Structure formats: structure tokens, C-alpha cells
Amino acid sequence: MADDKMNLIVDISTAATKYPNHLAMVIEDNEYTYQQLFCIVSRIYNIICNFKENVIGIAAENRIESYASILATLFAGKTYVILHPDYPISRNTNIAIQSGICCFLCSDVKCDILDPTLKISRFCTSTLISDFEQFPETESFVPPVITESAANAYIIFTSGSTGEPKGVPISRFNLNAFYRAYRNLSLHLNEPDRMLQMFELTFDVSVVSFLYPLTLGASVFTVPSGGFKYLNVIDILDNYQLTFAAIAPSVLRLSRSYFQSIQLPKLKYLVVTADATDVDLLTEFRPCIPNATIVNLYGPTEATIYCTSYTIPKSGIKNYNGMVAIGKPFSEMEMLIADEDGCPLPCNVKGELLISGPQLMQGYWHDSEKSALCLQTHSDGKVYYKTGDLCYMDKDGVLMYCGRMDTQVKIQGFRIELGEIEHEVKQFYGNVYRPKNT
């Protein structure tokens, strides 16, 4: 039975105190121990814990300051929202206004993410950080942890059909429920392990890729932002002999022509996630990772990162039209295949996948209308999230993914609604060709 008191942030604090001199992160070939990382965290923590407001904006930069800002926000009991420098200023400003961020943390004074007319307290984390050498080895460096299970840990904004990003708030209760379930997967990992973080901080798989290794005292390796990302991933796996990697199948597809020259014998686990995975691709890649267990993990943002798992055997892989099965529910999570009226369907009959359990969000950020459309209370009193994914459950209780029920597609792990693109095109051409007298 999982421990209901298990707390991800507390376990990170414990690991940092236990392993101060262990390697915590490697970013752009720069190495940071747990003590060095948390000295930065403490500096940021001491600033933001004095804010009355709770929502903190953080720039998605591949820098130690960005990761330290996430940790400081979580330790301070506040909520973080990631804003990406490469996204349109209008989108970032929209998200900042929707979420009500009280300050924006970035490491580059030239960081131009928000509309300059937006009234927001903004400061640069680099002005708060001294050289690591100034901190003696014996200094207490881990700040206290503020734990409020009902408070939101983060808000991720996904695509919206009207051009308005949808905010998905994940509470600390949700995050800890996910943490318990993830621990129950019994992945044999500990402090010597070297683990990959390849995802943009705006994507929720980055949360587990970054935070989970820190609960173990393990090391996190991020992917450089320059060059071809898929080649950078393979290089890091090889050069640093990583033992764990969660990657999008698109990385494997793009690197397919290099499979014959890739050898990663140190890899213990390969998690494929963020996209449907095809059997042939994994079969071709398996000789590159002769000692690795491959696990397919599935989950919508609304249900906190992952909520089903399927350990992929070397032969007899369960699949639908070549797409690998998404497996069985995480502990404490419930899955239902339903018809258009929400009624349960029997085994081997396709329908919409509905999800319930402690990892499920309470509703979209300040949007009761969208929440009512996707959250459904059943006769058993449980609330289910309507995923829009077409699935069926086989006789062994394994879920098969058959595609989307709507017009939403995934590109390199990011969910894109075709209706949003259509909306923007209509807006553009409407503005271009609108008669002057209208």
C-alpha cells in the first residue's frame, strides 16, 4: 500500500541534505552539485516567499536559474507558470494575465517574453545569485518546505479551440498522488543513476523528468537548445552513459538512420511517451539498448503527467494497428471505456477513454464552462475526465490506444487543436480581406 503521506518536495529536500556533494544537474556541460543548486534555490526562495501573491512566472530557459526557480517556488508553497521565450509575446501575455502571475523570473535581462505595457512586478534571478564559491561546504542550504496539499503546484496552459490557451492547474495533492503511483512502478533507480530531461518546461513530462531524479539523489542531464535536438539527445545518452531516459518517439524516428551506429549498453530504462509509439520503431531500436527495459507511459495533462503504463516485451507486443498498447492504470487511478452517453462498454469494444482518481485536476483554471464539458460525474459519484482518446480494453485489462475522437493532433508531443489553427486563419484572412466600410 502506498504511503498517503509521501511528499515529492519533502523527499527532494531529504535527498539534497543527504547527498550535498552528489551531482544534481548537468546543463550545457556545466555541472552543479546538490549544494550548488540549492544555494541558488535558497536565494530565490528568500525573495519570493515574501510575496503575498501565489503565482510565479518562470522563463523556460535551459539554465540552472530556471530549474532553481521552479524548486524555490514549490518549496515556498507557491504556484509556477512557465512562459517560453520562443512563443509569441501575445500568447505569453495572455497566459500571464489569465494566471495572475505576481512576478516573472528569468536569468537574462534581455529576456523579451511579455508585453512591456503589462503591469507586473518583474525581476531577474541572475541579480540574486552570487558565485557558488562564496558558499562554504558546511553551510545549511536547503530551505524549509511549505506543504499545503490543496495549493496548486503548477499551471500548464495547453492549446485552445478558440485561440485562448486553457490553464490546467495541478495541485500538490495531484502531484503527490502521481509521485506515489510513479514510485509504485518499481523502477530500480537510486542516487548513482543518470537521468535525461529532454522536454520543454512548458510540457508536463518535464516535471517528472526534472523532479523525480532529485528525490533519489540522482543526476539530471538536460538537452542543449542549439542544433538538432534529436541528435543532442542521442549524444547525451552516449557521452554521459545515462541509465534512464524518457523520450518522445519522434526522437527515435528522426534518428532512425543512425540506429546501426548507436550503442547504449548502460541504459537501464527507456520510457517512450508524449506520442503514440509504433511497434516496428521500437523493434528496430531495441538492439541499440540491449540492457534496457522499455516502458510506454500515457497520460493527459489533466491527469498529472502519466496515468497508465505498459512494459513492452521483446516479442508479442500488444498493439492496435501497430501502435503500442498504453497498458494498465496507475495505482489509485480508474479507467472506463464509454459510449457517447458515458455508459461503460465491454472488453474489445472501442469508445472514449474516461479517467478518474486522485491525479485528476479539479477543473480548468477559471473556466467552469470548459470544465463542465470535460469532467463528468457518474452514478457512482466519481468524477471522470473525458480524454477524447479512442481506446478499448482487451480481455487482460490492457488498454489499446486507437487515435483521437476529435480533431486534436499531437506533433512532437505537443497537443495541437486543428480548430485553433482554423480559427487563427479565419481571423487573419478576415482582417486582410474585410471591406473597409464594415
Q: Tell me, what CATH number does 80's domain have?
A: 3.40.50.980
Query: Domain for residue 65, yes or no?
Result: yes
For the segment 328-360, what is each residue's pLDDT rounded down to a tens digit?
999 999 999 999 888 999 999 999 999 999 999
Query: Domain for residue 243, yes or no?
Result: no
Confidence of residue 131 (pLDDT cuts 50, 70, 90): very low
Query: Domain for residue 46, yes or no?
Result: yes
Judge whether residue 40 has pLDDT over 70. yes
For the chain, how many structural domains are there in total?
1
3-class secondary structure, 187: coil
Query: Domain for residue 288, yes or no?
Result: no
Q: Are 338 and 368 in contact (CB under 8 A)?
A: no
Query: How far apart, in Å, are the Cα atoms of 234 and each of 198, 231, 250, 251, 269?
Result: 11, 5, 13, 9, 15
Query: Domain for residue 89, yes or no?
Result: yes
For the segment 209-250, what is each residue's pLDDT rounded down to a tens digit?
999 999 999 999 999 988 888 899 999 999 999 999 999 999
Q: Identify the H or E element spanning 426.
A: helix 418-433
By residue range, what is the domain housing residue 117? 8-16+32-147
Other C-beta atoms within 10 Å of 418: how many?
Answer: 13
Mean pLDDT of the chain: 88
Query: Domain for residue 415, yes or no?
Result: no
Query: Domain for residue 133, yes or no?
Result: yes
Query: Domain for residue 202, yes or no?
Result: no
pLDDT of residue 387: 96
Would the pTM count as exceeding 0.85? yes
Radius of gyration of the chain (CA): 22
